[in-house]
Amino acid sequence: MDVDPERLPRWVTGFAERHGVPAGRVTADGLELAAPDGATAELTRPPGAEPAGDLDGFLAAAAAPRRIGLLLARKGAVAVGVAAGRELVSHKVDTHYVQGRTAAGGWSQQRFARRRDNQAKAAAADGAGIVARLLLPEVGALAAVVAGGDRQAVDAILAERSLAPVAELRAGRLLDVPEPRHAVLVDAVRLARAVRILVRDP
């Protein structure tokens, strides 16, 4: 489950009420809570959050305001933004037509495949241009860059050599989002800040 940082203290309190007061253990990705009844909760640090040595530190780090870059890409659509805390402070959404697959065979299929490949490359180039305008100047202030949508489309955009400083900030988390639109980008801010929790019951 994904829990907003502001709701996390309440969630931890509920976990303790259900399973007993847990002991905290620092992990490579965040913090593990182990309850007396054998239940555990693995809390994954959200992108850009500082590591913490205990539960209170983890809660504070997860809720601390930070500047995050966002890159959502799927087929010919791309949305790029910068979030400061919970607010989207700058953004650009663009669409670029990429032809779908065709059922035709032979020469026609090869022709459509080449056209689709060229359209996808053009879309990636346009996306790279947007990232260069919005995220590259912000690199020094960004805690992380969170991507979402289609991994192949994101990879194609960040493959641009000049965007290496942005790619270096890319978080491991890939957001599962529909075709990028402004509303999707706004919701991605919430998803990027969320603490991912895996609960194992005894």
- Identify the sign of the CA torsion 154, 93, 126, 168: negative
For a pLDDT cut of 90, what percent of the chain falls above it? Answer: 81
pLDDT of residue 107: 47
Q: How crowded is residue 53: how many other Cβ atoms within 10 Å of its Cβ?
A: 10
The model's pLDDT over 64-93, given as tens digits with 9 standing for 90+, comes to 999 999 999 987 789 999 999 999 999 999
Q: Compute CA distances 77 → 71, 118, 202, whole Å.
A: 11, 15, 44
Domains of the chain (ranges, CATH numbers): 2-64+195-200 (no CATH), 67-192 (3.30.420.60)
Q: Cα–Cα distance between 147 and 91 in angstroms, integer?
A: 14
Per DSSP bridges, beta strands 87-95 and 77-84 are antiparallel
Query: Does pLDDT of 31 surpass 50?
Result: yes
pLDDT of residue 75: 79
pLDDT band at 111 (very low <50, low <70, confident <90, very high): low
Query: Does pLDDT of 104 surpass 60?
Result: no
For a pLDDT cut of 70, what percent of the chain falls above it? Answer: 86
